[in-house]
Amino acid sequence: MTKRLSTKPDKPPKSLQAATMARFQDVRARTLRLIAPLTPEDMMVQSLPEASPVKWHLAHTTWFFESFLLTPFASGYREFDPDFHWLFNSYYQSFARFPDKRLRASFSRPSLEEILAYRSHVDEAVVKFPGALSDIPEAWDRMMLGMHHEQQHQELILTDILHALATNPIRPVYWPAADIQQSAIPPLAWTRHEGGLVEVGAEPDRGFSYDNERPRHRTWLDPFAMANRLITNAEYAEFLADGGYLRPELWLSDGWELVRREGWNAPLYWSEHDSDRHDGNATNRNRRERNERRGRWTIFTLRGEFPLETVASLPITHVSYYEADAFARWSGKRLPSEMEWEQSATQRTVAGNLLEQEHFLPAAYSVSTGDQIFGDCWEWTASAYLPYPGFAPLEGTLGEYNGKFMSGKMVLRGGSFATPATHIRASYRNFFAPETRWQFSGIRLAESSR
């Protein structure tokens, strides 16, 4: 995910320093709240190579503060454990060696108790540092970066544990089951935009941003229209019923190869239930009844497993870019470019179904809550993840944060129900490989407008 630092030349005033310290403590406390429903055994599971065990997330986010804030800037800081210097490094080649990511589930030691002690050790040191470092602007920038980095990992904790729980045959529930608020979903409506020469990217001096959101620059947009809401589970089910996963003309070539190779026939966490599926004695007379029973889908979530009809009005999530693009083609529409999306979101207040609500599910659209531009689920765009004109990574190790991933990825916008409100903004660029499905990723449609 996007991770980068925005440097400022001057130290923050005392009031901002105090606010930053309060935010640090809030961010660290929220991570511990997110893991409260989990057992130590839950926190060891790594159910796919792209994910990480929760225990590793707890250690790595702490390692970040120790490695990039305390060690370089806090005179006299005592390292918690010299082995942690490399053990919990993620991908910084110029910083230290690091273990193969696929092996993180084998880290039975250090124990969870030691990892929590590590967090306490680093937290105490960070709380003590302002007096000594108040004159070092870069230290405060690193602290802000570390908080946004941890907020990214808060979302990753939820995406990764959902996949882990979904692989468990007894289907454990992360958070107590919800009463799903169904609502009648109105037909898609379209908001027209005139396009033209527009400015995109993070605005200078408007708060934190990652380097991949900069520099702010001008780009041309032809007239376009954006849908007023996200695509729902019920609408995606129509795509399935119409043979969406059986029609190569709807798919990009790489996507179709994935569908065939992996046997995809629905989004991740959708399961089709048919008690008669293996009945070899079915007669022609009862075959129609058996076929009618097919297609009874259930969807596994952080709040439990629900029949499709129970969550029909909720936004579809856990689809890859290829699936989102195929659905758009089937609909006779397209996915928006990231610049179209940003132009639609500019001047919007960050509000919606975000992490602070602790809903842990996408929410159904309602006129009162607006157009779901922020929250619920990340929205695939048609844009490849590439540098903006004039982009330059930071010097040193932190320069590895972002730029080296600008190949083979697609951009997502808007945040999800697992994204903190203080972390998302209109210029925020998330990115994943187009085959990614375990993230909270969904679909918003667009169309050209003349």
Q: Are residues 329 and 220 in the same domain?
A: yes
Q: Are residues 371 and 230 in the same domain?
A: yes
Query: Whose CA is closest to 175, among 165, 187, 183?
Result: 165
With tokens 């986010």, the residue in question is 61
* Whole-number average pLDDT of the chain: 89
Name the percent of the chain lying above pLDDT 90.
72
Identify the pLDDT of residue 450.
73
In the listed set 310, 330, 350, which residue is the last one of a domain according to the structure?
310
Residue 173 burial (C-beta neighbours within 10 Å; 0-12, 13-18, 19+):
middle
Full domain range(s) for residue 86: 14-166
Identify the pLDDT of residue 8.
46
Identify the pLDDT of residue 317.
98
Give the count of domains, the chain: 3
* Lowest model confidence (mean pLDDT) among 36-45, 90-99, 175-184, 333-342: 90-99
CA distance linking residue 336 with residue 328, whole number of Å? 10
291 pLDDT above the threshold of 80 = no
CB atoms within 10 A of CB 253: 9
Identify the pLDDT of residue 383.
98
Residue 242 within any structural domain of the chain = no
pLDDT tens digits for range 340-390: 999 999 989 999 999 999 999 999 998 777 789 999 999 999 999 999 999
Identify the pLDDT of residue 24.
95
Residue 294 within any structural domain of the chain = yes
Q: Note if the pTM is more than 0.85.
A: yes
Identify the pLDDT of residue 371.
85
Question: What is the average per-residue pLDDT within 101-119?
Answer: 92
3-state secondary structure of 277: coil
Distances (CA, A) of 46 to 29, 150, 185, 205, 336: 23, 19, 37, 40, 33
* CATH number of the domain within which 22 lies: 1.20.120
